[in-house]
Structures are given as structure tokens and as C-alpha cells.
Amino acid sequence: MLKKTGITLLMAMTFGFVASAQKADAVLGTWVNPNGQDHILIYKKGNKYYGKLDWIKFPNDETGKPKTDKKNPDKALQSRPDLGLELLKDFTFDGDNVYEDGTIYDPKSGKTYSCKMTLEGTSLKIRGYIGISLFGRTEVWTRVK
């Protein structure tokens, strides 16, 4: 009887961990920004979430060469291509459809901001901010089907 109870408890805990991981991984996939010109692929490394530019509507500059990270304050990084650029870094899932403690890089300005993401169905609210979340801007990304 005790053995059966122990096995049942172990199975319940295992299913709970799996369900939690599946809920956390709901953010994985490809998202499009509000202007429809960029697709961001959100993926996982270890237990953290990241996102990179996976598709750009206009990938080349006016000379026909691939756009690069020319606004980056680090001169050594200004020649790296925008396509594949990691924009989202180090997000952790808080168990409430919220991903926190990450950063978002804006290649248009070359600046990195603290960031929080909130998953709401097929929408992902991205809030970049300086200091506290009150001082920031929110964009809503849509899942690419």
C-alpha cells in the first residue's frame, strides 16, 4: 500500500513538472512584429528563452548588401548581419504566462533595454523599459502560423 502511494505521488509530481514545462514552452516559435517586417524566432537554451531575427522583409540595404548592425555601440559588432541577430536574451518563465529578467536589443537604435514578455493566446506583449517597467514601451507581436 505504501509503495503504491509513493509511486502515485511520484507520477503526479512528474506530470506536474511536464505540464509546467509545456506551459513555459508555449512561447516557442516564430512571431511577427506590429509592422509585419520582421519575424523573430523564440527558442530555448537550457531553462532560458531567447529570440533572434529569423526573417526580414527588406534584408538588404540600398546598395544590395545584407543589412548589418551598424548602430551597435560596439564597433566590432557593427558588421554582423541583422538576419540572425539575437534580440531577446535570458528570459525566465515565472509560471504566470510571464517571462521576466531578460533584455531586448533594438538594432534601429543600438540600445539594449530590460524586458518583460506576457503571452496571451496568439499575442505576445513585449515591454522594453529602463529601470522599472513603468518607464517603457510595449509592442504586441503575433504568432506566425
Going by DSSP bridges, is the β-strand pair 86-93/98-106 parallel, antiparallel, or unpaired?
antiparallel
Interatomic CA distance for residues 31 and 52, integer angstroms: 10
Residue 38 near residue 53 (C-beta atoms within 8 A):
yes
pLDDT category of residue 28 using cuts at 50, 70 and 90: very high
CATH class of 27-143: mainly beta
**3-class SS at 9?**
helix
**pLDDT score for 22:** 74
Q: What is the maximum alpha-carbon separation in the chain?
A: 75
What does the pLDDT look like over 93-134, one tens digit per residue?
998 999 999 999 999 999 999 999 999 999 999 999 998 888
Domain boundaries, the chain: 27-143
Distance, C-alpha 37 to centroid of its chain: 17
